[in-house]
Every structure is written in structure tokens, then in C-alpha cells.
Amino acid sequence: MAKVLVVEDEPLVARMMEKALKTDGLEVEVGIMGREGLEKAKNTKPDLVILDIMMPEPDGIEVLEKLKADLETANIPVVILTNLSGKHDRELALSKGAADYWVKKDLNLAELGKRVKTVLEKKNG
């Protein structure tokens, strides 16, 4: 079963996503805040990371950079899931190595699982 790591600063939102993804048949790890997120990434080796940007230090971009810098985690695809809808933000994230950039308000929770699966399929072949 594929494993997804959710990195979020709001526990409520994190749990919501966790349950939703589990319903779609995915294994879910949760990291609250950037630091925990980085740790969990290294320890649990997920197949995909869903990363929020708007977090207090370290913010999502920093976390992304660190993930990509660390050999152990560099190959894990990171998808940004955020409220920020600006093109700048999107470009910035993608330029830092994000695999995709999803805006929360355009997203249906039910879709989340499907999208994640699509990304995983792409990665695997």
C-alpha cells in the first residue's frame, strides 16, 4: 500500500486529510509543523509528501528545499497543498522541486485521494 506523508501546521486539517486518504486506501503519516515533517520524511520514507506552505518557521518552501537537499528524501515526490493561489507562489514551489501544486480551495477532498494516486502512478511508471 502506498504511503503518504501529510505535513501541516493545523492538527484539525491534518487529521481530516489523514482520514480522507485512508478511506481511499492509502497509508498515511502526519507531521505537524515543518520540523516534524522533515523527521517523519526521513524515518518513514513515504511514497509521496503532501506539504502545506503557510506554516511558521520553517515554512513550506524551506521544508521543500531541505527535502530536496537531503539525499535520503530527495527522490520523494512532494506535492504542495496550499491556500496561496498566486502564480508567483506556484512557480517558486515548482522551481524548488515540487512535483505539483494544488490550491486547497479548488480541491474537493474526495478528489484528493484520486489525485494522489495519479501522481504515484506517474512516478512508478
Partner 1 sequence: MVVKKFAELLGLGVLVVGLGLTLGTWMVTSRMVGDQVAAEQMRGVELMEEKLKLVVEHYEVVLSGVKGLFAASVEVERDDFSDYFNEVDMLGQYPGVYSFTYVSRVQDGDARDFLAGLRQELSEAGLAGQVREELADTPEHYLINYVAYVHELPPVAYGLDLQVDEVRRKVLERARDTGKMTASGPIVIVGPESPGFILSLPIYRNGVAKGTVEERRQALAGWVNAVVLYKDLFERVLAPTEQMEVHVSEGGQLIYDADRDDGYHWHRNLTSRIITVGGREWQLEFLTTKKIVGGVESGLPVIVLLAGVTVSSLLFGMTYALSSAQVRAELIAAGMTSELEKFKRVVENTSEHVMITDKEGQILFANEAAQRTTGYSWTEMQGHTPRLWGKQMPAEFYKKMWHQIKDLKQTFEGELTNKHKNGERYPVWVSISPILGREGQVEYFVGVERDLTREKMAEVSLKQERDTARAIVDTMGEGLIVVDDTYRITRINPEAEGLLGVKSEEVEGQRWSDVIKAYEGDREIPFEKRTFTRVIGSGKTMVTELDADHYYVNRAGRKFPLVSVTAPFTERGIRGAVKVFKDATDEKESKSILRAQASGVLENAGEGIVLTDEKGRITFVNPAFERMTEYVNDEVAGKVFAESFRFYDTYEKLLSPVELADAAAVTARRQEVKVQVESKSGKKVAIVINAAPLRVGDEFRGVVRMIHDWSEDLALQRQKDDFFSIASHELRTPLAVISGNLDTVLAGYGGSKITAGDRQLLRDSETAGDRLISMVNNFLNVSRLDQGRVKITLKEVDGCGVVGGVAKEMKALAQQKGLRLTYVCKKGREKIRADENLLREIVVNLIGNSIKFTQKGGIKLEGGVKAGRLVVRLTDTGIGIAAEKQKLLFQRWQQAMERTLSREGGGTGLGLYISREFARMMGGDLTLVRSSVSKGSVFELTLPIVKKGLAGTKKKAV
Q: Which residue's C-alpha cell is 502512478?
A: 121
106 lies in the site for partner 1, by CB under 8 A? yes
Residue 49 in contact with residue 8, Cβ under 8 Å? no
The Cβ of residue 123 has, within 10 Å, a number of other Cβ atoms equal to 14
- Grid coordinates representing 68 are 530536496
Q: Tell me phi and psi for residue 83, to 5 degrees.
A: -85, -20
The three state secondary structure string of 78-117 is EEEEECCCCHHHHHHHHHCCCCEEEEHHHCCHHHHHHHHH
Question: Closer CB to partner 1, residue 26 or residue 67?
Answer: 26
Applying CB under 8 A, the site for partner 1 has a residue count of 21
Question: Closer CB to partner 1, residue 30 or residue 67?
Answer: 30
Minimum distance between the CB of residue 25 and partner 1, rounded to whole angstroms? 11
Minimum distance between the CB of residue 8 and partner 1, rounded to whole angstroms? 10
Question: Closer CB to partner 1, residue 12 or residue 71?
Answer: 12
Binds partner 1 by CB under 8 A, chosen from 43, 72, 75, 86: 86
Write out the residues near partner 1 by the rule CB under 8 A: 10, 12-13, 16-17, 19-20, 22-23, 54, 83, 85-87, 104-106, 108-111
